[in-house]
Structure 1
Amino acid sequence: MAKEILGNEQFHIKLKKGDVGRYVLLPGDPKRAKLISQYFDNPVEVSNNREYAIYNGYLDGELVTVCSTGIGGPSTAIAVEELANIGAHTFIRVGTCGGMDLDVEAGDLVIATGAIRMDGTSREYAPMEFPAVSNFEVCSSIIEGAKKLKLKHHVGVVQSKDSFYGQHSPETKPVYYELQNKWNAWLRLGCLASEMESSTLFTVASYRKVKAGALFLCINNQERQKQGLSNELFEDVDLVIKAGIEALKIQIKKDKCD
């Protein structure tokens, strides 16, 4: 299917080969896509359909793209599939998360080396034994970017889920026992944070032979709240946007030197 529609307009994003850059930033919120585009040189909106708000611009002379994905795995998979069909080869997720490890405070950045596959979409791409991991080069560029900007960050595994309220009010769900037992297991294993897209992104990227990484702004940490620790809501996404832009610049430079 992917090969058959390679040169045609993609069904959801309404773009064709040559309409996007090879490097793409992936926020969830369409409004955040517009914010990110303001960091590009000569930004221009190229498509806006459903949850997919797409802008092009330039970073250090390279054509780059930002595409919103909406919330969760299904729409993220569509975006990556269709963007890969028309020439994109490097993706960086720029999102938000809820902290899990007690060391992860609101306002910190979390950089995912891999993701726990609690989503449903990735199961239609790979058996559960297959790991959802970030591309080493891209992950390294994200870490370099965070260090260069002197931003507090954590590097490790995150949990990807499909149900926001399954995390935040599991006791109301018929399968509470399963949700809580698995959550406690992730905590014991040192999982840093919970979000909703990276396991799908990493799995689809592996299948499509493209590169992907992910970073998140921690907006709060329910585990810190349970322990009576400081946990003020932090929603200034400018921090994670700047880190994503810097990471993309670093990756572009690396690729040009190869």
Structure 2
Amino acid sequence: MLENNYPILEFDAEPIAVIEPKRIYAARDVPKHAVVCFFQEVLTALNDDHGATILHTLRSEIGPHPVYEIEFQGQRLAVFHPGVGAPLAAALLDEVIAMGCTKFIACGGCGVLDSAIAMGHVLVPHTAVRDEGTSYHYIAPSREVAASASAVAAIEQTLLKHGTDYLPVKTWTTDALYRETPAKVRRRRDEGCVCVEMEASAFFAVAQFRHVEFGQLLYGGDDVGGEVWDNRGWQNHGTAREKLFWLAAEACLAL
């Protein structure tokens, strides 16, 4: 059997692990709604300009990971940075779920597999190809995993309300940004992937396992669709990043 040769396929559905988040992070007074934000400059602005308070500080070996609270549209909203890459992002999400948050929208950037997708164009992943390792510890092996239908609907309704053009997409989640070879890019594009990032499939798997709602907003960033990478200055697109955050916040509160 394949699982005898490949440990990543040895899924165990046992709900309680040796290190269980709820034994470490007891439920507390936190908002039900949370935005998972990859944009550190947006988080800094929330702290400086929008009266954000720190609910709790998660920790890893790279340092503190504050979980903020702001008031938006008359409601409480938690906001946190999940780190980069599926293992850390999934672990921090799991910890915030243990604290009591249950409705999540993430906002971040991604590489595009189609050079025609403009810098800053909004993408809404419906499904993600599981080319990372973390998701296989949360749900049984499969090629793809879907975002929560309710979260996708809330995102798309919010975008339509604001007249924001977007593409519903399949994304490719991979652990190894330096191994996105031309052949792999073509293979993923052939199966319908439009973009590539490092966390979505793990997020969706954790959400399914923990029975919470999770959706994601991305913006088109660097171009990996050609033989040579084009950075396109994607991390300097500040206006698009801030706009995406507030769209994510509104969509989250609509859940």
Same topology, TM > 0.5: yes
Match of 2:208 among 191, 206, 209: 206
Match of 1:27 among 15, 20, 37: 37
Alpha-carbon distance in 2 for matches of 1:4, 1:123: 17
**Which string of whole-angstrom CA distances, capped at 9 and with x for unpartnered residues, describes residues 121-167 of structure 1?**
01112222274111112112212222333333211100001112112
Alpha-carbon spacing, 1:226–1:5, altered in 2? closer, same or farther (3 Å): closer
Judge which range, 82-91 or 126-135, deviates more.
126-135
Partner residue of 1:248? 249
Alpha-carbon spacing, 1:31–1:9, altered in 2? closer, same or farther (3 Å): farther
Partner residue of 1:184? 186
Partner residue of 1:126? 139
Partner residue of 1:175? none
Partner residue of 2:53? 44
Partner residue of 1:174? none
Unaligned runs of 5+ in 2: 1-15
Alpha-carbon distance in 2 for matches of 1:55, 1:5: 19
CA contact (8 A) 1:33 1:53 kept: no
Alignment of structure 1 residues 68-107 onto 2, 5 Å = 68-107=81-120
Alpha-carbon distance in 1 for matches of 2:238, 2:120: 9
**Which string of whole-angstrom CA distances, capped at 9 and with x for unpartnered residues, describes residues 198-229 of structure 1?**
00000010000000001112122132x5599x
CA contact (8 A) 2:34 2:252 kept: no
Alpha-carbon distance in 2 for matches of 1:128, 1:166: 22
CA contact (8 A) 2:112 2:220 kept: yes
1:64 aligns with 2:77: yes
Shift in Å, 1:99: 0.5
Alignment of structure 1 residues 215-226 onto 2, 5 Å = 215-223=217-225, 225-226=226-227
Letter in 2 for 1:27: C
**Which string of whole-angstrom CA distances, capped at 9 and with x for unpartnered residues, describes residues 55-85 of structure 1?**
1011222211111111111111111211111
1:156 aligns with 2:153: no
Normalising by structure 1, we get a TM-score of 0.79
Shift in Å, 1:28: 3.1
CA RMSD of aligned residues (A): 2.9
CA contact (8 A) 2:128 2:146 kept: yes
CA contact (8 A) 1:24 1:92 kept: yes
Alpha-carbon spacing, 1:135–1:127, altered in 2? closer, same or farther (3 Å): same
How many aligned residue pairs are there? 234
Normalising by structure 2, we get a TM-score of 0.79
CA contact (8 A) 2:37 2:245 kept: no
Q: Give the secondary structure class of the aligned counterpart of 1:71.
A: coil
CA contact (8 A) 1:29 1:70 kept: no
Partner residue of 2:152? 139
CA contact (8 A) 1:37 1:57 kept: no
Q: Give the secondary structure class of the aligned counterpart of 1:248.
A: helix
Aligned-pair identity (%): 20
